[in-house]
Structure 1
Amino acid sequence: MLEPYSSFPVFSDKVNKYWLTDRDRPHPGQYRIVVDRELPPSRSVMLLDPIGSGGFLSMLPEMARRTGLNPGSEADKQTIFEAMQLAGIELNGADHLFYFSNEQQKLLHNESFPAAVRQLTSEDADAFEDFVSEAPEDDMDEAFVELDHWLAFGCFVEDRLVSAASMYPWRGTSFADLGVITLPQFRGQGFGKQTVRAIGAQALRLGCEPQYRCQPDNVSSIRLAQASGFSPFATWDVIKPDED
Structure 2
Amino acid sequence: MTFFNPTEPILRNKQESLDYQDRQGLLRIHIGIGDKTLISAFYTRIDQVFILWGLISGVIFITAQFLPISWMIQAVIWTVLTLIGTSVMVFLTHFWVKVERLRWVLYCWVSLMLGGLVVTDLSIFLGWGEVLMRLCPLWLGLSALGYFCTGVGMRSRAFILAGLVHLGGITALPYTGSLQFLSTGLIMAVSLLMFAEVQWDMRPPIEYNLLTLEQKQFNQKQYQLRQLSL
TM value normalised by structure 1: 0.29
Counting strand residues as a fraction of each chain, which structure ranks higher? Answer: 1
Counting helix residues as a fraction of each chain, which structure ranks higher? Answer: 2
TM value normalised by structure 2: 0.30
Q: More relative contact order in 1 or in 2 (CA 8 Å, sep 6+)?
A: 2
